[in-house]
Structure formats: C-alpha cells, structure tokens
Amino acid sequence: MIRKTVFGATLALLAASAAFTVTPAEAADSASVVKHYAELAEAKYQDSLTTAKALDAAIDALIATPGEATLKAAKEAWIKARVPYQQTEVYRFGNPIVDDWEGKVNAWPLDEGLIDYVDPSYGTESDSNPLYVANVIANPKIKINGEDYDATDITPETLRGLNEAGEIEANVATGYHAIEFLLWGQDLHGTGPGAGERPYTDYDKANCTGGNCDRRAAYLKAASTLLVADLEDMVKAWAPDGEATKNVEADPKAGLTAILTGMGSLSYGELAGERMKLGLLLHDPEEEHDCFSDNTYASHLNDAIGIKSAYTGEYVRVDGTKMTGPSLSELVAAKDKALDTEVRGKLDATLDAMNAMADRAQKVEAYDQMIGEGNTQGNAVVQKAIDGLVDQTKSIERVIAALDLGTVELEGSDSLDNPDAVFK
Amino acid sequence: MTYGGKLRGIPISPLEGGDARQGRGGYFPATFIDRLRYDVVTPLCHSRDISPSRGEIRGSLPPSSSLTCNGFPSEWTGWGGASSRQSMTPAIRRKSIPIFLLPVLSGALLLTPLIAAGGDPIFPTTRSDLNPKDQKRVEAVTRPTTDFSKPEQFELMEGGAATSRAIVNGNAFSHFSANLTFEEEETFKLGNALFTKLWVSAPSSTQASDGLGPLFNARACQSCHLKDGRGHPPEGSADATSMFLRLARPARTDEEREAIADYRKLNFPDATYGEQLQDLAVPGLKSEGRMQISYEEIPVTLAGGEVVHLRKPAYSVAGLSHGPLESDVTVSPRVAPPMIGMGLIQAIHESDILAKADPDDRDGDGISGKPALVRDHRSGELKLGRFGYKAQNATIRDQSASAFAGDMGISTPDNPSSHGDCTKAEAECLAMPTGVQERLGPVEAPDPVMELVTFYSENLAVPARRDLADPTVLKGKQLFQQSGCIACHTPKFVTRRDAGNKAHAFQLIWPYSDFLLHDMGEGLADGQQVGVADGREWRTQPLWGIGLTETVNGHTFFLHDGRARNLTEAILWHGGEAQKARDAFAALSKDDRAALVKFLGSL
C-alpha cells in the first residue's frame, strides 16, 4: 500500500518533470518549437470551437424559450467563448492564413445600426456609411451601393454578403461582436456604469419588443452558425497536416519569426495602441473592444495570456488540461539565460497589470469608465497595462536579434540576403 | 511558401543589407517629427497663403514684387503658371553648376528654371545621397529591361522591402509597410483609427471628435478612400461621396498673376463657394449644391474591328445655395485616389524626377514632362509637387491637411480655419459653432492627429505583384514598353538613402509614373489651372496596385473622374502627349491588347 503510493507519486513526479522540463535536445530545436506552436494553435482553436458550439446551443435555447434565464445563459456562454478565442489572437500577424480569415470572426468596431434598431442618439445618417441605420432585421430589402440587396431570408449567406457592405469596414455583419450586440444591445451608459440592456422580449415572438423578433432570432442564429463554421475552418488549418501548420513548419526559422511577429504586433500596435491607447487619448467609450458587454477587460487579459503562451509553450485548456512542450523560452534560455529571464519577467509584469485592471473592472468600475476623461485612477490602471505591453515588445525585439532571425528569406526577395546581386 | 513574417527591429532594403534598426522612444517618435522637418532647410519666405480662401497666414508676407526667397527672385517666372512656356529664359550661371552636370544641361537645358538667378540650385541636380559607385548601381538597376523572357529580379516586390505579402483579399491596400518596427506599427494603427474616425458636428458630447464642416464632402477620410483604395462616381447612388468638384478660376489681375508666378497661389477660389463644392452640411445649414453628371457614349473602333464605347462626361451643379458660380470659375471632378506607396513616392530623389523633365520637348519625342513647383504649406519653401492629380502638393502632410480642411471642414495646426471652406459670402456658415476645445488646443484636430494620419498615409503598403512570370503578362509588359507607355509611366526608381523614414530608404520601387505633368489632350482636359499645371495637364498616375482595384473596391472605374469603366477605356482616353502611345495600343491585335491589359492587371 505504502509502496504503491510512493510509486504513484514517483510516476506523477516523473510525468510532471517530463512535462515541464524537456530534454535539451528538444529544447534547442526550433523545428520542435514551431511544431508545438502549431499544436497549441489547434488546441486553442478547438477550445474556441467547443465554446462557440456551447454558445450556439445557448442561442437555440434563447430562441426556443425566450426568458431572463435563457438570455443570461447565452450571455454567459458568449463570455466563456471569448476566453480561448482571445488567447488565439497571438496567431494573427505572423500567419497570413489567420490574417486572411480573422475579419470574419472578430471584426471591430461595428456600426450596429446596420444590423438592428438603435437608439435615436445614434443618429440617422452617415455619409461614410449609407448603411449606417440600414437595420437589416427590420428591412428585408436594402440597397448597397445603389443596388438592391435581398435579405428576405436571413441565412448565413445573407450575412456574408453584408459583411463590409459598400466597402465600409464598420459594416460588420458577422462574428463575436455582431452576436454580442444581439445579446446585449447598445451600451447607452457612455463612460458611466452599465452595459447594454437588451430585453429578452426582443426574441419573444408572442410579446415582441423592438419589432421583428423572428428576423432578429434568425439573424442571431445565422451569425452563430457562421461563427462555428469559421472556427471549424481554422481548427482544420492547424491540424498536423493543415495549411497553417505546414506553413510554419516548412521553414522553422521563418516559423519562429511568425511567433515573434505575432507576439510583438499584438502587444504593441494592436493591443497597446489601437485597442487601449486610442481610447485613453480620446476618452471615448466607443473605443472599447467588447463595448456592448463590458467584457473588454477580459478580452485584453486573454490576449496577454495568449502572448505569454506563445513564448512559454504552456496553455491551460478550457477543460483544465495543461499543455506544455518545446518553447521559444527554452530556445532563448539556451542562448542567453538572462534574456529569457527578462522576457518572462516582462510578460508576467504585463499580466499583473492586466489582472489588476480585470480586478478593478469586476469590483470598482467597467473598462469604459476607466478610460473616461478625468478618471485619473482608472486611466492609470489602463496605462500601466499599456506600458507593460510596450515594454515587453522591446524584449521581443531583443529575442529576434538574439536568435539571429535577421536573415530569414522572404520569397522572391533574395536581395534581402544578397544586396549586391542587383549590381553587376 | 508565402510568409507574412517579417523581421522586426531590422530594416531590410533590397539594395542594402539589414543594419540593426534601433527602436525609438515614445509614442510619437522624435524622428517622426524630424522627418517632417528634414527637408525644410531654410524658410524661403513666409508665404503661407497657399490656400487662398482660408485666409490665415502664418508669418508675414513681404510685398510680392520685391520677394526674394533664398536668392530666388519673383521676377523669374518659372515654368507654366501664368507664364507661357516661351517665357522661360533665365540665364544659367554655368560656373555654379558642377562640371559633371554639364552634359545633362547642355543636352536639354532641363534644369534651367530650377537654378535661381543667384546661382543656387533650387533642387539638387544629382543624387546628393549617393556616392558615385552607388549612383552607377542605381542607374543600372533602374534602366528599363530588354529581357521579357522572365520577370526582372526584385520585380515581385513592387514597393521594395515595404511591399505587403499578405494573402490578397479586399484588404490588399490596407496593410502597413512590411518593414516597419513594432513601434511604428502602432503609430500606423493609431493613424488608421483616426483615418476611419467619423467626425461629428459641433457641439457634441464626444468633444474630441467634433468639428465637422460646417460644409463638407465626407465625415471621415475613409468615406472617400474606401478600403484605402479608389473612389468612384456616384453611379446611381444619391450622394457623391468619394468624388467631388474642385472650383477655381484663373488670375484676373497683375497682382494675382504675380502670386501664381511666385507659386504663392495655385489658382483662385469662387468668391461664394470657395475651393470645392461641398454637397453636405451640418444640421441647420444648406449644402452648397449637388454635382450632376451626364454621359455621352462615343464609339471607338480598334484594330481588328472591335468597337469600344467611351463615355464622355459633362458636369454641372444643381441646387446652388447662393446663386451661380462666377463666370470664369471652372469645375473639375476628382475621385479619391488609392493611398498605397505614398511614403515611397515622397522618398524619390528630386533629381531622378527632374532628370525626366523636358518641358519644351527638346528631345523631340512628343513628350514634355513638366515638374510641378509648389510651396510647402508650412515653411513656404519651394518644393517639387508630387501628390494630387495636378501634383499640387509636395508632401503627404500637405495633401492630408488640405483634405482635412476642404473635404471634412476640420481645422488642423497646418490649416487652422475651423470653418473649413466657408467664404465671407456664406455668412450663415461662418456663424455655425466650431469644434475647437480650448483645453485641447486652438484647432479641431490638434496634435498629434496630423502626425498620425500623415504617418498612416505614408505607410500603406504596395501589394506584391501577382502572375508576373505568366507568359502573357510578360508579353504585355513588352508591349507596354514598346507602345511607348513607359515614356511617362516610368517603371522604376530607387528611393533616397537619406529618406526621413528608414523603411522608405534606398528601396527599388516600381510605381510606373514619372510624377511629372503632361498635356493629356482635349478629351481629358478640365480647363482648370492648378499652379504650374494648365487645364490640359495632369500628373502621370502611378499604376502600382491598379490590378487590384476590383478586388479591393469592387469596381474598375479609372482616371481622375472615374469615367473609364475598365483599363482599356482608360488607355483610350489618353490624348495629347500620350496620343502616340494610345494609338499604338489601338493598333495592336486584340490578343496583344488583352496581353497589355493583363500585364496592368498584374501590377
């Protein structure tokens, strides 16, 4: 009995050590790092798919039995679905396949007047967007660039045709944020407390509020169906023989560049800049990523978790399973131990700042209140997370230099390596 | 394998190895501001009155008759402008010109008017940024190819190392230069957010976003620059967003003629409606009127009997709010041009553009090529115009500030009139509130808005070529060259080594433009003088990315007013100096014409 326990503990210990300390041969191998990066992608997109399917089921329940409980359950399912998805965002920027696809699922910001009714304060016209208040749910026939568009039947195809209608990027008809709007409605509280307050009766055909409850339900279901289908595409792309996997594995050195490009671009320009700094500059609640649900803090936090994961090779799946494997961190440590410590320290510092922001969002005030003008304390909390992201990017640049990734070949531009080739 | 992956923190130039590029401190890097100032060497004079109707002049303007700017006297009238071509007779002070330039000068006397009477060249006449060895290398690599059996080396990367390699889709014109640092990427993204931002009328709860109008054509930059691409004529839609009418009249008095000759004015606005017709206005104000277009179909027969119809537009204004335009005011329609590659264009060395100039056609090839001379809006310095359909702006910043003012009615530090294009005759317009917030500064779009939008506009990447090794494309490339198109659509340049942004430095780029003004014939003439450009002259449009217009914008309307419905029609509209090339195209067999068009589609 005792022996058995000890044996079991030893096994567990062995398993743990096998999981957390890979052999040096593996660690130093960029091919295995890239392979594991692809495995994590598959797992993260798989988790995004699983939670999106749960959301889809919750939406079915809401449509079948509109009520406070089913609406609340659908909202909770949406918030859960955002967790793994946001952690995949670090796969953008370095992987062309992801970039090509991403707009379908996570485009933002959106002019919600295209989709459904909006508050009169939203205004009625925008020259830049003739579809600003097209309200597809209320109007089966709309005009796009002077041509009739038939939305009598709201199907996934109908929504595809509406996305970026009239070449306007803000005409977002599909993805997480379209669903978010249909669940929460507009957040009319500005930088005050409160999120969107759409009533469940917007889906109640018997006691319909907002009009066209059947079409609203059809729209929500179509958007949810598309989200599931789009995520299925991305899971396939990251399967061992998928296109995205093949792309990163074909040239491990270029694959490492893809990892670091994703980490740096998401940290600095995308998250610190466009999603956070801009809102602070303008103090504009519209500059909030998950603006209907007030879930922005979680969205940002999970981006940061994803960035760290791309470096450490660690990921906790939605079922609690922990994945580990050959990591960029080990590769860096083998070359420059101090640099690895520096990067890990900075990634953790950012996470601390993000967690502090999340804590404040849950206990004190929502993200859109934090960026409000004159809110010195709130502004500072957001600023600290921005500073962390900017600071970690400096170290990411040092990693690029340390791993000698300055000579990655870009197809068709051999001049990059051979500048004199141009000149006879 | 295609990789979007690029090296961060490391600039890569096709012509130069990758020196490690240091990150820059702060959100709005000092070098960023430095770049905007880098070529402002010495203020020539403080003539800020480039935009006549906006009135505000920073600094004082000396009496124009005695104006001397950096030894450049106003008596000298330069090319075009109010003066005729025959008037260009300033003597060259040869002793002041480097000996190695003499062959160039004696051959064509091209640079004559660019040399001030005092002897100082207004523009460098050689690649001051290159040593003789590099100079030779650049000459070799920019020479037009003679081998059409395969693509040229580096031809894929149309915008050098800045070229975007993203998968081609509707966002093809919206990517940033591939060789930006992470930090610059952020600046680009903030610029993008402002570029897509909807400005609202004042007063508004979102104070940082108000100030629209009172008269305007669009609420956001992106309203016209759809997907950072090409605008289009209304084509049945009610409003004309992405296209508008410029209003201008020629000089009437000696004083006005002098102002044009001295480059202080490009032309003069309508006394009532200003510089352009704004077809929208904030609530409570009437818009100025509506552009109206009617088309007349004109059949054209090509070799082999194919008949192509060109639609000839006629423009007028309906519903003018304050009575007719002045009798000598002309209207000139403009669609929003694509935004790609502009920082690279800005980084082309003046001497490379001037080397192609031949305003008096001394080489007798029927092609002139007139450089546009314009004043920098802020410094008043004389510069080479390269942006806009008439090359009326020397910098992207000037082009952007003009658009803020004229198109959206938003004041900027460069152009502080918060009532936009309202004139004195439009008193009710001047009485409307502005969006200026004292605490944010004296203008509606305070710093760093201009910096961010300018940076964004400088760094929209040119997409990589597609199908460039296709035999038909290569044949089309040969026909394009043989038909004489490259006489103006210059294929290649190597940008300056000392470009303000390293990402634009020493890149081999393929814009297919000489950035000079050419007489394009009566068919395309708008009869409107813009500075040096007369009413028949237009700047050669760059062709890079033209093949992706349909992918990005869902249409193929080309030329300054979108009258051409496809590339063939666009070519057939070419007249004047381009008549010979146009005729050569029309005389090609149908297959050859298709090959040439397919080549354009691969750009």
pLDDT digits (tens, 9 = 90+) for B129-157: 999 989 999 999 999 999 999 999 899 99
Given this model, what pLDDT does residue B519 score?
97
For residue B116, pLDDT over 70 is answered with no
Given this model, what pLDDT does residue A414 score?
36
A148 touches chain B (CB under 8 A): no
Please report the DSSP string for B509-572 in residue order.
Answer: E-------EEE--TTT-----BTTB-TTEEEPPP-TTGGGHHHHHS---BSTTS-BSSHHHHHH
Q: Helices B182-196 and A252-265, interaxial angle, to 10°?
A: 50
The answer to whether residue B317 sits within a structural domain is yes
A250 touches chain B (CB under 8 A): yes
Token pair of B54 as six digits: 């906006």
d(CA B542, CA B558): 12
d(CA A83, CA A85): 6
A277: closest CA of chain B, how far (Å): 8
d(CA B388, CA B182): 30
- How many domains is chain B partitioned into structurally? 1
The answer to whether residue B55 sits within a structural domain is no
The answer to whether residue B2 sits within a structural domain is no
d(CA A395, CA B351): 41
Residue bearing tokens 């933002």: A108
Second-level CATH architecture of A31-408: Up-down Bundle (1.20)
Boundaries of every domain in chain A: 31-408
Which 178-237 residues of chain A touch chain B by CB within 8 A? 190
The answer to whether residue B94 sits within a structural domain is no
Counting one residue from A and one from B, how many pairs have CB atoms under 8 Å apart? Answer: 199
A264: closest CA of chain B, how far (Å): 6
Q: Which residues contact B463 (CB under 8 A, 6 or more apart)?
A: B158, B163, B164, B166, B168, B172, B173, B175, B340, B545, B548
The answer to whether residue B365 sits within a structural domain is yes
Residues of chain B positioned with their CB less than 8 A from the CB of A411:
1-3, 156, 165
For residue A104, pLDDT over 50 is answered with yes
Given this model, what pLDDT does residue A193 score?
81
pLDDT digits (tens, 9 = 90+) for A333-360: 999 999 999 999 999 999 999 999 999 9
Given this model, what pLDDT does residue B80 score?
29
* Secondary structure class of B191 (helix, strand, coil): helix
Given this model, what pLDDT does residue B1 score?
34
A423 touches chain B (CB under 8 A): yes
Which 345-374 residues of chain A touch chain B by CB within 8 A? none
Q: Could A273 and B16 be called an inter-chain contact, meaning their C-beta atoms sit closer than 8 Å? A: no
The answer to whether residue B218 sits within a structural domain is yes
Among residues A338, A322, A350, which one has the least CA distance to residue A19? A322
pLDDT digits (tens, 9 = 90+) for A82-101: 999 999 999 999 999 999 99
Enter the ipTM.
Answer: 0.83
List the single residue in B4, B183, B218 with the smallest CB-CB distance to A94. B4
**Please, which residues bridge with residue B210 across strands?**
B200
Q: Helices A30-64 and A68-88, interaxial angle, to 10°?
A: 170
Decide which of B264 and B71 is more confident.
B264
The answer to whether residue B400 sits within a structural domain is yes
List the single residue in A128, A258, A270 with the smallest CB-CB distance to B198. A128
d(CA B208, CA A398): 37
A1: closest CA of chain B, how far (Å): 56
Nearest CA in chain B to A143: B237
Q: How far apart are the first and last CA of chain B?
A: 21
Q: What are phi and psi of B22, to 5 degrees?
A: -80, 145
Lowest mean pLDDT among A48-57, A216-225, B95-104, B129-138: B95-104
Chain B interface test: which of A90, A171, A415, A424 (most B C-beta within 10 Å): A415
The answer to whether residue B49 sits within a structural domain is no
Q: Is B576:B519 a contact under the CB 8 Å cutoff?
A: yes
Q: Could A97 and B2 be called an inter-chain contact, meaning their C-beta atoms sit closer than 8 Å? A: no
